[in-house]
Amino acid sequence: MKILGLVIVALVGSVLIYATVDFPPFADPESPASLHVSPRYIEKSLDETAVPNVVTAVLADYRSFDTMFETTVIFAAGVACFLLLRIPRRRPPGPRHFRHRLTGLTFRVKDGENGKEIFLPLREFEPVDSVWTPHDFIIEKVCRYMIPFIQLFGLYVIAHGHHSPGGGFQGGVILGAAIILLSVSHNLRTALKRMREKTGALCSALGVFIFAGTGALCLALGYNYLDYRALAALLPGGPIMARSHGMLLVEIGVGVAVMGTMVWIFKNLASLGRYDEGL
């Protein structure tokens, strides 16, 4: 099977390399894209969409189908990671470790008689991983104060991405990085309290639903799929501003999907699919 796989990869790669012969030279100003497509977007995007960010206008409007399927691919990556790594059955209960909040001392606690779990008061003790880095008060507090500002900046990047550099992909990564920073500076259990596994999975699917649902709404209003001019019947500002509002809706969907999938994949990788221990 390995030999067959190598042969298939070699054949497909050879075909793809051979196809590059027909491509125009790199950065050729006389290529069709430079002569026809790019000037059209640069000259007309602001008049047609009321969006000064040409990149966002292209990604979220002119070729919104491609961007929608890119968001779907991100969601599929999260599902694939979940199916490959997630272990639904927990390991047999064993010794657990706790840290005394006041003194910083770590205790190894075994289960009681007949396999009954022993619970320590969480006000005085906090659970820690069996393999953990030393507790650092400064890192924990600094990250805790930084995370709200990181999340606020992520929301700004999503909301203002069609008028300045940014967008749903960038803002979603920033929001996901804030949750991952909480995991790294504290532990996985703390991050799970802020965003549980089901919440991340639902956000990943919800983002795709928002994107696809916006297109379905345009279709229901009598326009083509993802033709945001249809939203003028529901939103103020006319057909041109409706395209700007439509881009904002799909950017929100992309941001939610990227954030949920990013956190979903990280938690499965960090805990080896068990969600009991990890960064």
Q: Is 273 helix (H, G, I), strand (E, B) or coil?
A: coil
My answer on whether 212 and 79 are in the same domain is yes
Domain count, the chain: 2
pLDDT of residue 114: 53
User: Which H or E element spans position 245?
Assistant: helix 238-270
Percent over 90 (pLDDT), the chain: 45
My answer on whether 51 and 110 are in the same domain is no
My answer on whether 189 and 259 are in the same domain is yes
Distance between CA atoms of 257 and 200, rounded to whole angstroms?
Answer: 9
Q: Is residue 23 part of a domain?
A: no
Residue ranges, the chain, pLDDT below 50 = none
Q: Is residue 32 part of a domain?
A: no
Q: Is residue 151 part of a domain?
A: yes
Contact 56, 162 (CB under 8 A): yes
My answer on whether 162 and 203 are in the same domain is yes
Distance between CA atoms of 214 and 92, rounded to whole angstroms?
Answer: 46
Q: Which are the contacts of 157, defined by CB distance < 8 A and separation ≥ 6?
A: 166, 167, 170, 171, 174
Structure confidence by residue, pLDDT tens digits, 205-260: 999 999 999 999 999 999 999 999 999 999 888 899 999 999 999 999 999 999 99
Side-chain-facing half-sphere of 114: CA atoms under 13 Å: 0
Number of residues in the chain: 279
My answer on whether 271 and 194 are in the same domain is yes
pLDDT of residue 157: 94
My answer on whether 213 and 246 are in the same domain is yes
My answer on whether 160 and 191 are in the same domain is yes
My answer on whether 160 and 220 are in the same domain is yes
Coarse DSSP helix, strand, coil percentages of the chain, rounded to the nearest 5 percent: 65, 5, 30
Pairing of strands 125-128, 106-109: unpaired
My answer on whether 202 and 110 are in the same domain is no
Q: Is residue 3 part of a domain?
A: no
* DSSP secondary structure letters along 26-88: TT-TTSHIIIIIHHHHHHHHHHHH--S-HHHHIIIIITHHHHHHHHHHHHHHHHHHHHHH---
Note if the pTM is more than 0.75: yes
My answer on whether 118 and 211 are in the same domain is no
Tell me which residue range forms the domain holding 203.
46-88+134-279
Q: Is residue 8 part of a domain?
A: no
Q: Is residue 143 part of a domain?
A: yes
My answer on whether 199 and 140 are in the same domain is yes
Q: Is residue 14 part of a domain?
A: no
My answer on whether 125 and 111 are in the same domain is yes
Contact 131, 108 (CB under 8 A): no
Contact 265, 78 (CB under 8 A): yes
pLDDT of residue 118: 58
Q: Is residue 35 part of a domain?
A: no
